[in-house]
Structure formats: structure tokens, C-alpha cells
Amino acid sequence: MTGPGFRVLYDERMIQGRLNALADDIARAMAPDLIAIAILKGSFIFAADLIRALHARGLSPHVDFMTLSSYGTATQSSGTVTLLRDAEIDVRGQQVLLLDDILDSGRTLAFASRHLADKGAATVKTCVLLDKYAAKGNALAKADFAAFACPDDFVVGYGMDYAHMYRELPFVAVLDQKGVRD
């Protein structure tokens, strides 16, 4: 399936099937009362769907959010991660599941994991929708759980954007030059 400026990589059915399997894996590996912290903004749809899938498996995650930035309106990371909004929940001594949309360089996951560990989290496990590590092989952090491997392309949809566009797409798509607007 294609659209104006993009090519679908993972459709709705594929995503939901994979999230159910991912929830099974997480339920086996983590305590039922974990804290799920989603990194905004790109992970909000992924996090919501995964948290509901975890609930269906008997987990009762407390939910909070962090806002980090490394892209701005560009299609490549600036290389610097900035904490724009910290999680408010107390993570001291708790098991944390950190949710992010995509593992690319690994800077965001490494930064957020260190930050939560510094705040006293007992454990921090990471979960991403898309893992580019397999395509690049040079990430600074690895995900404990990943829904899909991702080619080294710029992707949008399912919460992920380019310059605040395409978040509403119910699938993950590769953005091509027609989708990049000035």
C-alpha cells in the first residue's frame, strides 16, 4: 500500500498481532505492577495499545510520560538528547518499562535509562516499536523488547511524525521525498 509521500511498512493488522505477542513476552518477564513510562511524543499510540495489551494479560502498569527531543523538525537526529519533561511518578525501587517509538542511534534510550536509574529505579527494561539497530549495527543502547526490525529509512505513522505531520496514520510507513514538505 502506498500513499502521497509514503510506502506502508507495517499495516494495522501486523502491528496489533505483534503487540499482542510482545505483551506476552513482557508479561512473562516483568512483575504485574510495573511502571510504564512512554517517551513522548512519537510513542503515544504504541504505548497506549501496548499498555492495553499488558492489562489484558493481567498486568497493572502505572503509567507516566517523559518528553525528550533529539530530532526537532529534521529527519536525522541532532545527536543531543534534551529532557523537556520528566516523569512525575516516583520510580525508586520500582521495575520500569521504558517505551519508545524507535531505536535508531540509541541515544534517547541510553539517556532515559540512565536518568531513570539515577532516580533510583530498581530495573529499567526498554521496549520499542521499531528497532533500526539490526540495520545499522551501531546503537548506543539495545532494546530489551522490540516489535519490529526497521530498515534504515525515515518512518512515520502510528504516532511518529515528520514536522508534526503523519502521526494519525494507523500504520507505519517509509516517508519518501514527496512526503517531505518545506
Of the residues 104, 131, 144, 161, which is catalytic? 104
For 82, other C-beta atoms within 10 Å of its C-beta total: 11
CB 54 within 8 A of CB 61: yes
* Amino acid found at 26: I
**Kind and range of the H or E element at 46?**
helix 44-56
* Amino acid found at 120: G
104: annotated active-site residue? yes
What is d(CA 36, CA 145) in angstroms, rounded to the nearest whole number? Answer: 13
Provide the β-strand partners of residue 123: 95
The shares of helix, strand and coil residues in the chain, as percent rounded to the nearest 5, are 25, 35, 40
Which set of grid coordinates corresponds to residue 147? Answer: 516489535
Which residue numbers are catalytic?
104
